[in-house]
Amino acid sequence: MSSVPENAPDHCPGTNSEDAGKASACAGCPNQQICSSGATKAPDPDLDAVKERLSSVKYKILVLSGKGGVGKSTVTAMIGRALALDESKEVGILDIDICGPSQPRVLGALEEKIHSSGAGWSPIYVGENLAVMSIGFLLNSKDDAVIWRGPKKNGMIKQFLRDVDWGTLDYMVVDTPPGTSDEHLSIVQYLSAAPPVAAIIVTTPQEVALLDVRKEITFCRKVNIPIIGIVENMTTFVCPKCKTETAIFPPTTGGGEQLAIDFDLPLLGRLPIDPRIAKACDHGENFLTEVPDSPATAAYKEVAKRIVEFCNVQS
């Protein structure tokens, strides 16, 4: 993989390229001197250890957006639970939102703590075939703030990939923070060493979300991460009693459907708002089994089905 620095110009050759700092696109880039010096090209000595650890993880799936507040953490948890409905599959959820870890709460494991053994850290199991790892398990209090600069956050992500004893997984679903910077470059670098890896892009219908989501799609294409498709979250509000659907965030430019057309990507699903999802996440319950007749449950199952189909084609 050819890593692209933050704030890189268009057509950046990447830090690992022979043309790093020398191409015409590098002119005026604040990273030009560092790239041309070769300082960025030194191989990470832990890359082989990460590759070996992840060799037992069949498919790695990044849940990305670029925009905060579109429901990435909820979508990650629900996709993980939907994939785990197949009891023959082993599923892991990795939370790399270092400053805002949500998975311990959403998956009902807020009070759990990490245990270590000779094989490494043990992830927390929230089901027979569903495990999760998050920095939230390492904090002394759920109110503790993680006030770290980029290198320390990147080191934590590496540790999650290198030192966690995931065992054999069919799917690892990765919950990411908003943006396209340090954490994203780190996870892409390490996961690319142990392919296959692909991404799901989450958006909401309104243009203010789509603006940032377009950047995330560009990011994936620059770092050569295949995109499984787009998930439009909060498409409509479905009344739990009368089942009436209402567009809370009406799309002004076509929403996720038009975005998928513009970038020639599949639209994996349109997820309705159901207030019972928020309640289930607050209490760490499995919405898919608690409310099996909800349109949202059907939509999440369809998204998971299409993810499985994509992975099967890639294998």
Average model confidence (pLDDT) across the chain: 89
Residue 209 has pLDDT above 50, yes or no: yes
Q: What pLDDT, on the 0 to 100 scale, is given for residue 101?
A: 95
* Domain identity same for 198 and 106: yes
Q: For residue 279, tell me if it sits in a domain.
A: yes
Please state, for a pLDDT cut of 70, what percent of the chain lies above it: 87
Shortest CA distance to 189 belongs to which of 46, 67, 64, 298? 46
Q: pLDDT tens-digit profile of 45-93?
A: 889 999 999 999 999 999 999 899 999 999 999 999 999 999 999 999 9
What whole-number distance in Å separates Cα of residue 127 and Cα of residue 120? 20
Q: What pLDDT, on the 0 to 100 scale, is given for residue 140?
A: 87
Q: What pLDDT, on the 0 to 100 scale, is given for residue 250?
A: 87
* Domain identity same for 101 and 211: yes
Mapping DSSP onto H, E and C, the string for the chain reads: CCCCCCCCCCCCCCCCCCCCCCCHHHCCCCCHHHHHHCCCCCCCCCHHHHHHHHCCEEEEEEEECCCCCCCHHHHHHHHHHHHHCCCCCCEEEEECCCCCCCHHHHCCCCCCCCEEECCEEECEEEECCEEEEEHHHHCCCCCCCCCCCHHHHHHHHHHHHHHECCCCEEEEEEECCCCCCHHHHHHHHHHHCCCCEEEEEEECCCHHHHHHHHHHHHHHHHCCCCEEEEEEEEEEEECCCCCCEECCCCCCCCHHHHHHHHCCCCEEEEEEECHHHHHHHHCCCCHHHHCCCCHHHHHHHHHHHHHHHHHHHHC
Residue 235 has pLDDT above 90, yes or no: yes
- 260: CATH: 3.40.50.300
Q: For residue 307, tell me if it sits in a domain.
A: yes
Place of tokens 């650890």: 53
What whole-number distance in Å separates Cα of residue 46 and Cα of residue 233? 37
Q: For residue 80, tell me if it sits in a domain.
A: yes
Which token pair is 279? 């309640």
Which token pair is 192? 């690319």
Q: Which residues pair with 273 in a beta bridge?
A: 237
Q: For residue 8, tell me if it sits in a domain.
A: no
Structural domain for 169, as ranges: 48-314
Shortest CA distance to 270 belongs to which of 244, 240, 237? 237
Q: What pLDDT, on the 0 to 100 scale, is given for residue 39?
A: 46
Mean local confidence (pLDDT), 257-267 = 97
Q: What pLDDT, on the 0 to 100 scale, is given for residue 43?
A: 66
* Domain identity same for 154 and 238: yes
Q: For residue 246, tell me if it sits in a domain.
A: yes
Q: For residue 1, tell me if it sits in a domain.
A: no
Q: For residue 10, tell me if it sits in a domain.
A: no
Mean local confidence (pLDDT), 271-279 = 94
Least confident of 21-30, 280-289, 304-313: 21-30
Q: What pLDDT, on the 0 to 100 scale, is given for residue 240?
A: 79
Confidence of residue 35 (pLDDT cuts 50, 70, 90): low
Residue 146 has pLDDT above 70, yes or no: yes
Confidence of residue 40 (pLDDT cuts 50, 70, 90): very low
Q: Which sign does the torsion angle of CA 133, 135, 140, 144 carry?
A: negative
Q: What pLDDT, on the 0 to 100 scale, is given for residue 283?
A: 96
Q: What is the dihedral of CA 4, 56, 227, 48, to 10 degrees?
A: 10
Give me the number of domains the chain comprises.
Answer: 2
Least confident of 98-102, 146-150, 232-236, 306-310: 146-150
* Domain identity same for 243 and 258: yes
Least confident of 84-98, 134-148, 164-178, 205-219: 134-148
Q: What pLDDT, on the 0 to 100 scale, is given for residue 197?
A: 97
CB atoms within 10 A of CB 52: 12
Q: pLDDT tens-digit profile of 86-134?
A: 999 999 999 999 999 999 999 999 999 998 888 889 999 999 999 999 9
What whole-number distance in Å separates Cα of residue 136 and Cα of residue 131? 14
Q: What pLDDT, on the 0 to 100 scale, is given for residue 42?
A: 58
Q: Which sign does the torsion angle of CA 78, 83, 85, 90 carry?
A: negative
